Structure 1
Amino acid sequence: MAAYKARCKEFEDILSADEINLKLLKKYCFNGIPNENDHRALCWRLLLNYLPPQRCSWSEITNRKRELYRQFIEEMIINPGEYDGSADEGERVDVTFSDHPLNCNPDSLWQTYFKDNEVLLQIDKDVRRLCPEISFFQQPTEYPCKAVVHSGGAKRLHRRVQHSVLKSANVERKGLGVTRIALSVRKAPEDYAPLAEGAEAHWEVVERLLFLYAKLNPGQGYVQGMNEIIGPIYHAFACDPASEWREHAEADCFFAFTNLMGEIRDFFIKSLDEAESGINRLMNRLSEQLRNNDFVIYSRLQQQELYPQYYSFRWLTLLLSQEFPLPDVLRIWDSLFSDPDRFSFLIHICCGMIILLHEQLLTGDFPANVKLLQNFPPIDIQVVLNKAVELAGKSSNIYR
């Protein structure tokens, strides 16, 4: 307990300085950011290069970035024919004389609208499945987007896509009589319901974040799985104990996520799979490390033709965000974001995960081992991280 309190004090000292010592901050964050006073959101803002080390410039930078994000919402979420704020209050903007839904002109607002909705449909499905084991993303945010409130909800994206309702027929046979078929209608458990006007659930905020990212990055667009990357960042920012930071979680998250994607975006671009920074190269590095540290298991998996592509593609592209509960993911990312070699430590964690399953993998056949690796069993995350540190040749003195 005394050591834990000392670490909390060290974080307080580092983060209260006029100029943050980033090298020292990374050293402490690598060993885990204490939950006491919950400095994770501020640390991640620094580690993801949203905030510079100089505290005196924070106000100017955040004001500028948040205003820029507000402009993104106003200019890029287009609803043709609806009030856009440029006309007098209450007046509707009628674009039908120059534009209409059947207009094939590439410059048509309607064509942009329909094209955007194709992307939005996938985003909407994905964000409704975010962390179903916790209720956070279904809960209302304290700070619904002002653009949404002022536009009468016109900026709420979920309205633009329709979900088909799941129907199932239950066949029941009673004795020798006629078979009774009962048609039931049910909603998928992950289909989070939108909130009433004037309120927004956290998943709706994440939906808008991903939609704007896709609009601003047309060369990459939205790729399924990005929701699992942005989710933990937004959760950390939206749970910041300081209301002055929590109020701007959406805008701050957008730029932090954009910076992170700038580092890992090659994982999501199929044409770069074979590049030095591509996902195949990363899987090869994992295979090489496993061979160097547990040749028995490496040989076993090779013999079974159970290659890293079968299990580690998701581990690596999503930074292990789907393999562990959210609190463990946050802890893992403390180390990933603060590691000087950035995502080299991800390889050590993944290799450690495999080695820790040595006995099970040694006795399992191909189907059993695939299932085991694709559904990693519950484990103390500290055990995994300690193993990763051992593989990385660093100090094993890691704290929660």
Structure 2
Amino acid sequence: MKQLLLGYLPAEKDLWEGELAKNRLRYAELKRELLLNPSEFLMEEDEASNSSMPGRDNEAGGLLCRREISNGDHPLCLGNGSIWNQYFKDAEIVEQIDRDLHRTHQDIKFFSGDSSFSRKNLEAMRNILLLFAKLNPAIGYVQGMNEVLAPLYYVFRMNQEGEDAVREPYC
């Protein structure tokens, strides 16, 4: 019922399962696209280009090829098109988010403590807040957004566990 009121699910109950699957897939795509570490991105890019070019594999007995580094993809590049530059800007936002998340409802074990459950919840909330900031650059992340997200995330997560859902959409 909460998801209906928030506009997360359509009014027709028959469409809920498909809508949930679509939303989970979209969220996973956004995480993969926007929260990727540049090292992982460049490694995947290299693997893709190496597998498509014969004679450029790094298998045993093959030649190790040196990766060419352009001006836009090394950690010291300050250019706006650099994925590393964006990564370090995002790291500043993550630092601010983490400071706020550690103050989120310290009296509730769901958000505090050293359990894997609470750490997983805070990590999921970090991802949600960072994705929001990246998808809405005019707004970005503002102190206190964690307090807005906390009750929403709690309700969605507890509802999901109450329904014994197999997949976890916000991790």
TM-score above 0.5: yes
Cα RMSD after superposing both structures: 2.4
Give, in angstroms, the shift of residue 249 of structure 1. 4.7
- The one of 45, 55, 66 aligned to 2:3: 45
The residue type equivalent to 1:248 in the other structure is: E
The 5 Å alignment of 1:144-223 reads 200-223=119-142
What fraction of aligned residue pairs are identical, expressed as a percent? 35
Following the alignment from structure 1 to structure 2, what is the Cα–Cα distance between the partners of residues 44 and 136?
19
3-state SS of 1:207 partner: helix
Give, in angstroms, the shift of residue 235 of structure 1. 1.0
| Aligned twin of 2:69 | 97
Following the alignment from structure 2 to structure 1, what is the Cα–Cα distance between the partners of residues 79 and 86?
10
Q: Is 1:129 aligned with 2:103?
A: yes
Q: Is 1:81 aligned with 2:39?
A: yes
| Aligned twin of 1:298 | none
The residue type equivalent to 1:97 in the other structure is: I
The residue type equivalent to 2:138 in the other structure is: G
Question: In the comparison of the two structures, how many residue pairs are matched?
Answer: 147
Following the alignment from structure 2 to structure 1, what is the Cα–Cα distance between the partners of residues 3 and 105?
22
Following the alignment from structure 2 to structure 1, what is the Cα–Cα distance between the partners of residues 7 and 38?
36
Give, in angstroms, the shift of residue 126 of structure 1. 0.5
| Aligned twin of 1:231 | 150
| Aligned twin of 1:70 | 28
| Aligned twin of 1:112 | 86
The residue type equivalent to 1:242 in the other structure is: E
Q: Normalising to structure 1: TM-score of the pair?
A: 0.34
Q: Is 1:250 aligned with 2:166?
A: no
Following the alignment from structure 2 to structure 1, what is the Cα–Cα distance between the partners of residues 78 and 108?
44
| Aligned twin of 2:116 | 140
Greater C-alpha radius of gyration: 1
Alignment deviations for residues 122-144 of structure 1 (CA, whole Å, 9 cap, x no partner): 10111111100111124434xxx
Following the alignment from structure 1 to structure 2, what is the Cα–Cα distance between the partners of residues 96 and 62?
42
Following the alignment from structure 2 to structure 1, what is the Cα–Cα distance between the partners of residues 67 and 168?
34
3-state SS of 1:244 partner: coil
Following the alignment from structure 2 to structure 1, what is the Cα–Cα distance between the partners of residues 170 and 95?
21
The residue type equivalent to 1:113 in the other structure is: Y
Structure 1: which 5+ runs fail to align? Answer: 1-42, 142-191, 193-199, 252-400
Q: Residue 119 of structure 1 contacts residue 222 of structure 1 at CA under 8 Å; is this kept in 2? A: yes
Q: Normalising to structure 2: TM-score of the pair?
A: 0.76
Structure 2: which 5+ runs fail to align? Answer: 49-57, 59-65
